[in-house]
């Protein structure tokens, strides 16, 4: 089981994500972001590419889709909180959202 991040690691790794639209979830140790796309096909195409990457890394998002919006929550269930795996997935999501 991976260790939760230390306070210093958290600051260093989370600050860039908080600056790019991710927010801390209030009632659990997780980050959240709403992605918006041109239309449903663009949203679902992005989800498909992320799903393949996430599955290869065996680290999966909590997410939901309404038309062109995808709401994502990232946390590491086995660590009961944020880990470097969530940071990596968040960056992959930002990069692929363009």
In angstroms, the CA 24 to CA 55 distance is 24
- DSSP 3-state assignment of 88? helix
Whole-number minimum distance, CB 77 to ligand H2B, in Å? 3
C-beta closer to ligand H2B: residue 6 or 58: 58
How would you label 11-31 residue by residue, b for 16+ Cβ within 10 Å and e otherwise? Answer: eebbeebeeeebeeeeeebbb
Q: Is 13 in the site for ligand H2B (CB under 6 A)?
A: no
- Near ligand H2B by CB under 6 A: residue from 59, 72, 90, 93: 59
- Near ligand H2B by CB under 6 A: residue from 8, 38, 56, 77: 77
């Amino acid at each position: 089981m991976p260790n939760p991040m230390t306070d210093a690691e958290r600051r260093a790794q989370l600050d860039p994500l908080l600056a790019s639209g991710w927010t801390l979830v209030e009632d659990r140790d997780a980050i959240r972001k709403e992605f918006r796309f041109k239309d449903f096909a663009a949203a679902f195409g992005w989800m498909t590419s992320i799903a393949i990457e996430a599955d290869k890394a065996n680290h999966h998002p909590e997410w939901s889709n309404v038309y062109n919006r995808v709401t994502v929550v990232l946390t590491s269930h086995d660590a009961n909180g944020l880990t470097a795996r969530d940071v990596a997935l968040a960056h992959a999501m930002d990069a692929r959202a363009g």
